[in-house]
Amino acid sequence: MSVQTTMQAAARGRWAVAGIFLANGFLTGSWAPQIPVFLTRLDITRFTLGLLILLFGVGAVIAMTWCGHLISRHGSRSVTRWFGVCGSFGLLIVALAPNVPLAAIAMLVFGGSIGGMDVAMNSNAVVVERRLSSAIMSSSHGFWSLGGFAGGALGGYSIQNYGYLAHAVAVTVIAFAVIAFAVRYLIAEGRPQAVEHQKFTLPRHMAVYLVGLMALLTMISEGAVLDWAALFLHQELGADLAVAGLAYAAFSGVMALMRFLGDGVRNRFGAVSTLRGSALVAAAGMLVAGLSPSPYLAIAAFAFCGFGIANMVPIIFSAGGNQEGMSSGTGMSVVTTMGYSGILVAPSAIGFVAEHSSFGPIFVALSALLVVVLLMAGLAHRAEFAPEPVPAE
């Protein structure tokens, strides 16, 4: 295979994995407007709903834990295909669940397929980065944010006008079509990885767990803004609901924009320097938000925080997928599992603390966690690129 042909295949693979990120975000975003219908349709309490949503997270973490082993045996392209096809039907099976027991199973399957797809697509993005010797992770996550925005924005209108089941069917058809087209052009690892792990084991290299800790601390902050920023503005800063909703909108909008710009910044300044600068900006934004006396200042501060957090997770994921002595799938599995565990655990822990305190000090404390990531940023040096050998054919 010529170098030119290989680079053309890698370029197609870059857009193919972007399509997978887009579909994953679209499926996740489309679930959010289904939640109120899910609650009333099954006639359940908010507590029961919380347990069912927790099962989504449990399924995701279980799949993420095993996904590295599957990728080391079969490659990220195949595993992305398997989980992608299953994931495209995840929302539909949840919408079809007629009772709580079947809904619980559906949520486990939906969460598992989305979680496994997440690890596999991030691992494949690392493979593309190696092949191109250029960053694509930030813009890939930008496509995820774009898909999530589209799913959330269109979902409410579709459900209101056509019903929840028609919406779920439409989401399934769109996601399946995008995934089926994209997987044809995904690129494979340049060498077999099956020899690395004959059975499921946890990596022994401490470095990958430290990178996972950075993901955990970063995604705790991201999840806190998602779940609690609006309540902070409404209950403690006196904003009405319309203004309070702008907190996460500003955060996510700026984050999506910066993810599309982030690869150029990272290619110019390097992964470590970009991560340090991003962590400093994010910590400053979170600190100002926590100390803010005004809802509008808090909104601006959360937007500034999104400006920083935008490229932290992509860089950390690239570092996790490039750990020495292990496959990209194994490293990515550890880092994504630890990172997403922060989003799963943090909301309930923050809610418990907020019952005995206020949200302001919590956001100030979260800024300190981002400073810890700043101090650990040197561990992201593995995100710098070493070109992958071109496979012979």
Q: How far is CA 172 from CA 43, 124, 230, 242, in A?
A: 25, 23, 30, 31
Query: So what's the pLDDT on residue 316?
Result: 92
Q: How far is the C-alpha of 59 from the C-alpha of 106, rounded, in Å?
A: 10
A 10 A CB-CB count for 2 gives 8
Q: How far is the C-alpha of 85 from the C-alpha of 70, rounded, in Å?
A: 16
Query: So what's the pLDDT on residue 108?
Result: 93
Overall residue count recorded for the chain in this entry: 393
Query: So what's the pLDDT on residue 390?
Result: 45
Contacts of 7 (CB under 8 A, 6+ apart): 131, 132
Contacts of 223 (CB under 8 A, 6+ apart): 342, 343, 346, 347
**Average model confidence (pLDDT) for the chain?**
84
Question: In this predicted model, what pLDDT tens digit does every residue of 178-234 receive, in sequence order?
Answer: 999 999 999 887 654 444 444 555 666 788 899 999 999 998 888 788 767 877 888
Higher per-residue pLDDT: 5 or 180: 180
Query: So what's the pLDDT on residue 40?
Result: 84
Average pLDDT over residues 301-312: 92
Question: In this predicted model, what pLDDT tens digit does every residue of 112-128 receive, in sequence order?
Answer: 999 899 889 988 988 88
Query: So what's the pLDDT on residue 190?
Result: 62
- Surface-to-core class of residue 333, CB atoms within 10 Å of its CB (0-12 exposed, 13-18 middle, 19+ buried): buried
Question: In this predicted model, what pLDDT tens digit does every residue of 351-378 receive, in sequence order?
Answer: 677 777 788 999 999 999 999 999 999 9
Please choose, from the candidates 244, 307, 279, 285, the residue with its C-alpha nearest in 3D space to the C-alpha of residue 380.
279
Q: Taking the mean position of all CA atoms in its chain, how far away is CA 18? A: 13
Query: So what's the pLDDT on residue 391?
Result: 46
Q: How far is the C-alpha of 258 from the C-alpha of 262, rounded, in Å?
A: 6
Contacts of 8 (CB under 8 A, 6+ apart): none
